[in-house]
Structure 1
Amino acid sequence: MEIKKDILWRVYLCVIGMGLFAIAILAKVFVIQNVQGAKWRSLADSMQTQYITLDADRGTIYSEEGRMLSTSIPYFDIRVDFAADGLRENNGKIFSENVDSLAIALNKLFQDRSIKSYKNILEKGYRNKSRYFLLKRDITFEQYQQIREFPMFRLGKNKGGMITETKNKRINPFQLLANRTIGLYRDNAQNVGLERTYNQELSGVTGKRLMRRIAGGTFVPMDGFDIEPENGKDVVTTIDVNMQDIAESALMKMMVENECEHGTCILMEVKTGKIKAIANLGRQPDGSYWEDFNYALQVGEPGSTFKLATMISLLEDHYVTPQDHVDLNYGRWQIGRRTVYDSEPHHLTDVTVKHAFERSSNVAMAKLVYQYYKADPNKFVDHLKKLKLDEITGIDLVGEGHPIIKTTASKTWSATSLPWMAFGYEVGQSPLQTCMLYNAVANNGKMMRPYLVNAVMEYGKTVKYYEPQVMLDSICSRTTLRQLQDMLVGVVNNGTGKTLASPYYAIAGKTGTALVANGKRGYADKIYQSSFAGYFPAENPQFTCVVVIKNKAHAKKFYGASVAGPVFKEVADKLFAIAVDKHQPMQGNEQIDTLLAVKSGQGSDWTYIMNTLQLPWQGMLSRKNWVNADIEDHRFSFQPMALQHGYVPNVKGMGLKDALFLLENAGLKVQVKGSGKVVNQSLAGGTAIADNKTIVIELS
Structure 2
Amino acid sequence: DVWLRRINRIAVDLRETKPERGSIYDASGKLLASSVSYYDIFMDTRAGGLTDKIFSENVDSLAVCLAGFFKDKSKAAYKRKLINARKRKIRYLKIAEKLTYDDYLKIKSFPLFRLPANKGGFIGKKITKRNRPFGELMRRTIGFIAEDKETGIRQGKAGLEYSYNRELGGRTGKYYMQKIGGGNWRKIKGGEVVKAEDGLDLRTTVDIDLQDYVDFILRKQLSGLKADYGSAVVMEVKTGYIKAIVNLKRYDDDTFAEIFNYAVGENLAPGSTFKLPVLMAALEDGYTDLDDMINTGNGHIMYHGVPVDDAGSESYGTIPVWKVFAKSSNVGMLKIIDDNYVKKGRIDRFLEQLDAMSIDDISGIDIYGEIKPDIKSPEDASWAPSSPGMIAHGYEVKISPLQILTFYNAVANNGVRVKPRIVKALEKDGVTVKEFEPEITNPMICSESTLKKAQKILRDVVVYGTARGINTDKYKISGKTGTTQYYDIKQKKHIEQYRASFVGYFPSDNPKYSVIVEINKPKTDYYGAQAAAPVFKKIADKLFARDREINPPEETVPDDSLILPIFKNTKGSDIKKISENINVEITGNFSEDDWIRLYENKGKLLSETINFEKNKMPDLKNFGAKDAVYIAEKNGLKVSLKGRGKVVYQSVKAGTDITKGMTVNLVLN
> TM-score w.r.t. structure 1 length?
0.70
Q: Residues 154 and 491 from structure 1, CA distance in 2 versus in 1: closer, same or farther, beyond 3 angstroms?
A: farther
> Could you tell me whether the CA contact under 8 Å between 1:95 and 1:152 is conserved in 2?
no
Amino acid at match of 1:198: Y
Q: 1:95 to 1:500 in 2, by over 3 A?
A: same
User: What does residue 283 of structure 1 align with?
Assistant: 250
CA distance in 2, matches of 1:56, 1:381: 50
Q: Match for residue 306 of structure 1?
A: 274
The equivalent of 1:362 in structure 2 is 330
Q: For 1:304 and 1:417, how far apart are their aligned partners in 2?
A: 15
Q: Corresponding residue for 2:110?
A: 153
1:146-180 deviation line (CA, Å, top 9, x unaligned): 46556963998349966544232222222222211
- Cα distance in 1 for residues equivalent to 2:412 and 2:481: 16
Q: 1:171 to 1:584 in 2, by over 3 A?
A: closer
Deviation by residue 1:570-624 (Cα, 9 ceiling, x = unmatched): 11111111135143677xxx9xxxxxxxxxxxxxxxxx999749xxxxxxxxxxx
Task: Give the whole-Å Cα distance in 1 for the aligned partners of 2:56 and 2:516.
Answer: 71
CA distance in 1, matches of 2:205, 2:560: 41
Name the counterpart of 1:690: none
> Alignment partner for residue 162 of structure 2, among 183, 193, 196?
196
* Deviation of the 1:540 alpha carbon: 1.7
Moved more, 421-430 or 481-490: 481-490
Is 1:503 paired with 2:473? Answer: yes
CA 1:439–1:115: 2 relative to 1, 3 Å = farther
* TM-aligned CA distance change 1:250 to 1:42, over 3 Å: same
| Counterparts of 1:283 and 1:220, CA distance in 2 | 57
Aligned equivalents of 1:319, 1:163: Cα separation in 2: 78
Matched residue, 2:314: 346
Conservation of the 8 A alpha-carbon contact between 2:269 and 2:397: yes
Rate the CA distance shift 1:136–1:475 in 2: closer, same or farther, 3 A: farther
The within-5 A match list for 1:412-561 is 412-523=382-493, 525-552=495-522, 555-561=523-529
Return the alpha-carbon distance in structure 1 between the equivalents of residues 108 and 300 of structure 2: 86
Query: Of 128, 133, 156, which aligns to 1:173?
Result: 133
Distance 1:584 1:221 in 2: 69
1:78 pairs with 33, 38, 41, which one? 41
Greater CA drift, 85-94 or 163-172: 85-94
Task: Provide Cα deviations, 1:503-536, integer angstroms capped at 9, x if missing partner.
Answer: 3111111000000124424556411010000011
Secondary structure, in 3 states, of the residue corresponding to 1:520?
A: coil
Partner deviation per Cα, 1:443-496 (whole Å, 9 max, x = no partner) = 111110111111122333322221111111111222222221121111112211
1:106 to 47, 70, 73: 70
In structure 1, the residue matched to 2:21 is 58
- Give the CA deviation at 1:192: 1.2
- Alignment of 1:336 with 2:336, yes or no, is no
- Give the AA of the match of 2:462: V
CA distance in 1, matches of 2:92, 2:479: 66
Counterpart among 361, 368, 378 of residue 391 in structure 1: 361
Taking the aligned partners of 2:222 and 2:158, their CA distance within structure 1 comes to 24
Deviations along 1:212-254, one digit per CA (max 9) or x if unpaired, are 999xxxx987233585632111122111111211221111111
SS at the partner of 1:330? coil
1:55-104, Cα deviation, whole Å (9 max, x unpaired):
21111122111122221110212245778999999996654235145236
Distance 1:220 1:498, change over 3 A: farther
Q: Alpha-carbon deviations, 1:383-409, whole Å to 9, x = none?
A: 111121222122112221221112222
What is the CA deviation profile of residues 352-405 of structure 1, one whole-angstrom value per residue up to 9, with x for unaligned ones?
A: 211221111111111111110112111111111112122212211222122111
> How large is the Cα RMSD of the aligned pairs?
3.6
User: Distance in 2 between the 1:479 and 1:154 partners?
Assistant: 84
The residue type equivalent to 1:312 in the other structure is M
CA contact (8 A) 1:80 1:135 kept: yes
Separation in structure 2 between the aligned mates of residue 420 and residue 128 of structure 1, nearest angstrom: 76
Structure 1 SS opposite 2:514: strand
Partners of 2:519 and 2:485 in 1: how far apart?
A: 12
Which residue matches 2:171? 205
Aligned mates of 1:571, 1:281 — CA distance in 2: 16
CA contact (8 A) 1:57 1:168 kept: no
Change (3 A) 1:335 1:580: farther
Q: CA separation in 2, counterparts of 1:152 and 1:391?
A: 61
Give the drift of 1:183: 1.2
**C-alpha distance in 1 between matches for 2:142 and 2:62:** 47
- Cα pair distance change 1:195/1:151, threshold 3 Å: closer
The aligned residue for residue 630 of structure 2 is none
Structure 1: which amino acid aligns with 2:399? Q
Unaligned 5+ residue runs, structure 2? 150-155, 563-669
**Whole-angstrom CA distance in 2 between matches of 1:487 and 1:458:** 47
Contact 2:63 2:76 (C-alpha < 8 Å) held by counterparts: no
The alpha-carbon distance between structure 1 residues 281 and 457, as it changes in their structure 2 partners (threshold 3 A), is: same
CA 210–519 in structure 1, closer or farther in 2 if over 3 Å, else same: farther
TM (norm. structure 2) is: 0.73
Q: Mean alpha-carbon deviation: is it higher for 65-74 or for 97-106?
A: 97-106
Compared CA separation, residues 559 and 209, structure 1 to 2 (3 A) = same
Q: 1:269 aligns with which of 211, 236, 245?
A: 236
The correspondence for 1:69, drawn from 28, 32, 36, is 32
**C-alpha distance in 2 between matches for 1:42 and 1:196:** 40
8 Å contact 2:178–2:187 — kept in the other structure? no
Match of 1:296, as an amino acid?
A: A
Q: Quick one: structure 1 residues 612 and 415, their matched pair in 2 at CA, closer, same or farther if it must change by over 3 Å?
A: same
Deviations 1:319-370 (A, max 9, x none): 2222222122121122231221012220321222112211111111111111
| 1:183 and 2:143 are equivalent in the alignment | yes
**2 CA distance for matches of 1:152 and 1:446?**
64
One-letter identity of the residue aligned with 1:355: K
Letter in 2 for 1:520: K
Structure 1 counterpart of 2:197, which letter?
E
2:377 alignment counterpart: 407
Corresponding residue number in structure 1 for 2:94:
135
- The one-letter amino acid of 1:67's match is K
Letter in 1 for 2:161: E
Listed as ranges, the gaps of 5+ residues in structure 1 are 1-37, 591-607, 614-700
**SS of match in other structure, 1:186:** strand
C-alpha change, 1:157 and 1:223, in structure 2 (3 Å) is farther
The answer (yes or no) to whether the contact 1:271–1:443 under 8 Å persists in 2 is yes
Matches within 5 A, 1:648-687: none
1:200 Cα deviation after fit: 1.1
How far apart are the structure 2 equivalents of 1:576 and 1:220? 69
Note if contact 2:507-2:550 (Cα within 8 Å) is conserved in structure 1. Answer: no
Counterpart among 548, 554, 577 of residue 545 in structure 2: 577
Using a 3 Å threshold, how does the CA distance of structure 1 residues 285 and 556 change in structure 2: closer, same or farther? closer
Radius of gyration: which is bigger? 1
More strand per residue: 1 or 2?
2
Cα contact 1:403–1:430 (8 A) shared by 2: yes
